Amino acid sequence: MIERAALPRQSLSPLARIARHAALLSIAVFALLPFVWMISTSLKPPSEILSSEVRFWPSEFYGAENFRAAFTAAPLARYLLNGVIVTSAIFTLQVLIALPAAYALAKLRFWGRDIVFGAVLFCLLIPYHAVAVPLFVFFYYLGILNSYAALVMPFTISVFGIFLMRQFFMTVPDDLVDAARMDGISEFGIVWRVMLPTAVPALTAFGIFSVVAHWNDYFWPLIAVSDQTYFTPPLGVVAFRNDEAGSNYGPLMAAATIIILPLVVAFLVAQKRFVEGITFTGMK
């Protein structure tokens, strides 16, 4: 929908066209400068990084050394692996738990349904930082701080996922469900064999939202784990910065580049889906 022309597409005068690009480019410089400077620094030798001259392209290419140092000076590969484990576990569990509930709320009648849906709407209002203190105490007594479980468990329930999928399932015709029942498919089977295939677009948007949110999350991992074994990429890059006492900027910028790379590449490949996924779900 964003593709459509919103403003009247009268052709601008050449002067106006130049002014438009000039204004947009200056905003683009603001948006891009940190990325450009990060990459540029990750390719420079220490002597050039600490020089008092602003240069974007290194005169001596030092990228290989910096990126190698990023992987050897800190367990960066481990952090990345943890990030993959945690984000994929969260998303998988969110789907496994939210989809059946969303189907029940949309298509089945049972006592207490309105109460459950009311609770979902209520939980949508709870800011995610608000429950950190009691969850921390709870996990402390369970003895599961410093584990993958601590990183994943609070997010296994996505009330937003339930709400989103329930709204989507409401638009699926009842006939489709009835036909499946007539074919002898159980309610459980209907969720995965009938509803899931219709829900792929909504689920993709939700998946992008979930993965981006949890790959980038710093607040909860910071609280939940202190053992480096379980560090996610955001914790890892901060630990790296602290260990190097802010002197080894080449490898540090290389590490930052690597950590943002997976999402940035995915974004550039599937721009429209990402923008949709993050904004439409980010409005929650």
Interacting positions 144-203 with other proteins (CB under 8 A) = 153-154, 156-157, 159, 162, 170, 174, 178, 181-182, 186-188, 191
Specify the residue, 91 or 103, whose C-beta has the smaller distance to other proteins: 103
Burial class (CB in 10 A: 0-12, 13-18, 19+), 187: middle
Burial class (CB in 10 A: 0-12, 13-18, 19+), 85: middle
d(CA 229, CA 47): 33
| Contacts of 276-284 spanning 24+ positions with Cβ under 8 A | 276/205, 277/204, 277/205, 277/206, 277/207, 277/208, 277/209, 277/212, 278/208, 278/209, 278/212, 280/205, 281/160, 281/164, 281/205, 281/206, 281/208, 281/209, 282/209, 284/124, 284/160, 284/163
Interface mask toward other proteins for 228-267; x: CB under 8 A = -----xx--xx--x-------x--xx-xx--xx--xx--x
Query: CA 71, 74, 80: angle at the middle one, nearest 5?
Result: 65
d(CA 233, CA 84): 9
Q: How far is the CB of 176 from other proteins (least distance, A)?
A: 12
Residues 44-83 touching other proteins, rule: CB under 8 A, are 49-54
Token pair for residue 272?
């429209």
Interface mask toward other proteins for 3-42; x: CB under 8 A = -xxxxxx--x---xx--xx-xx--xx-xxxxxx-xx--x-
Q: How far is the CB of 33 from other proteins (least distance, A)?
A: 8
104 binds other proteins (CB under 8 A): yes
Q: How far is the CB of 206 from other proteins (least distance, A)?
A: 15
User: Which region, judged by CB under 8 A, interacts with other proteins, from 60-68, 72-80, 100-108, 197-205?
Assistant: 100-108
Smallest CA-to-CA distance from 73 within 226, 259, 244, 249 is with 244
Specify the residue, 200 or 264, whose C-beta has the smaller distance to other proteins: 264
d(CA 153, CA 16): 54
269 binds other proteins (CB under 8 A): no
User: Which region, judged by CB under 8 A, interacts with other proteins, from 63-71, 73-81, 197-205, 272-280?
Assistant: 272-280
193 DSSP 8-state letter: I
Q: What residue type is 101 in one-letter code?
A: A
User: Which region, judged by CB under 8 A, interacts with other proteins, from 60-68, 73-81, 108-116, 199-207?
Assistant: 108-116
Q: How far is the CB of 75 from other proteins (least distance, A)?
A: 16
Q: Which of 69, 105, 194, 205 binds other proteins (CB under 8 A)?
A: 105
Q: Which of 76, 199, 212, 254 binds other proteins (CB under 8 A)?
A: 212
How many residues bind to other proteins according to rule CB under 8 A? 111
Q: Which of 73, 85, 132, 185 binds other proteins (CB under 8 A)?
A: 132
Q: Which of 103, 163, 168, 209 binds other proteins (CB under 8 A)?
A: 103
